[in-house]
């Protein structure tokens, strides 16, 4: 089945140690998104790629970076994780931009920072 | 600016009861989309419905139904004859035609945690 896959499902890192989260999709969608969801809160958009065009949300910290080497894969890099970065990170895809384009979400990666 | 309010933080019902999850939104746009997503304990967000601002017709899908009322800026979700498998966090979300800065982001409410007790 076509889907959005995130690896790993659970990631533990140490304070200040760089970490990379992975997302892949078999939907051949043009747009890939990264959301941060802290406990008992709504998902918050960090950034998205439309093809190779990167769009950063205004309030996304510089500590968060992303790479999209090809259509199928997108990575979230946290350069120096702090305790406040512990959260669920959700990857999503959509065929295009715009309100009619439904976003398909992966299962998320739960990040713990020690 | 757009905003979505889900006033109910947590709801518990006994299996087979009906339950309604409330969603109130704010937007200055005349063109927008409303969504409901389900987030089970496994974590992924599951799309349930999308409704555009020009279509106020209510929708029913099995045990699920949605009531969209522009006059009160509400998009409520009702589960009929609830089941244990309905236990999850449910998010209402809004997307305007253009959110600025090149993004078409979904603005989520804070979610309502539904627990269905056997």
Task: For A42-97, give the secondary structure using H, E and C.
Answer: CCEEEEEEECCEEEECCCCCCCEEEECCCCCEEEEEECCCCHHHCEEEEEEEECCC
Of B31, B91, B103, the CB nearest to A45: B103
Taking only the tens place, the pLDDT of each residue in A14-57 is: 999 999 999 999 999 999 999 999 988 889 999 999 999 998 88
Q: How far is B28 from chain A (nearest CA, A)?
A: 15
Taking only the tens place, the pLDDT of each residue in B28-62 is: 888 888 999 999 988 888 989 988 888 888 888 89
Cβ contact A55–B37 (<8 Å): no
Give the residue numbers in B contacting A (CB under 8 Å), as ranges: 31-33, 37, 42-47, 50, 52, 91, 95-97, 101-106, 108-111
Taking only the tens place, the pLDDT of each residue in B65-114 is: 999 999 999 999 999 999 999 999 999 999 876 544 444 678 899 999 99
């Amino acid at each position: 089945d076509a889907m959005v896959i995130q690896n790993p499902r659970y990631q533990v890192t140490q304070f200040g140690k760089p970490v990379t989260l992975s997302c892949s999709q078999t939907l051949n969608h043009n747009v890939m998104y990264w959301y941060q969801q802290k406990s008992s809160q709504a998902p918050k958009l960090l950034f998205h790629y439309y093809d190779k065009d990167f769009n950063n949300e205004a309030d996304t910290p510089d500590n968060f970076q992303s790479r999209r080497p090809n259509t199928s894969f997108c990575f979230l890099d946290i350069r120096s994780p702090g305790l406040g970065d512990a959260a669920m990170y959700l990857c999503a895809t959509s065929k295009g931009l715009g309100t009619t384009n439904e976003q398909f979400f992966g299962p998320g990666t739960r990040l713990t920072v020690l | 600016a757009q905003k979505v309010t889900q006033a109910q933080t947590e709801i518990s019902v006994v299996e087979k009861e009906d339950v309604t999850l409330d969603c109130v939104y704010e937007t200055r746009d005349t063109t927008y989309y409303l969504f409901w997503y389900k987030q089970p304990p496994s974590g992924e967000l599951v799309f349930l419905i999308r409704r555009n601002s020009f279509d106020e017709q209510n929708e029913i899908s099995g045990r699920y139904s949605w009531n969209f009322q522009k006059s009160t800026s509400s998009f409520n979700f009702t589960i009929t004859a609830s089941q244990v498998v309905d236990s999850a966090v449910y998010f209402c979300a809004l997307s305007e035609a253009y959110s600025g800065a090149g993004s078409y982001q979904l603005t989520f409410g804070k979610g309502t945690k539904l627990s269905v007790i056997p």
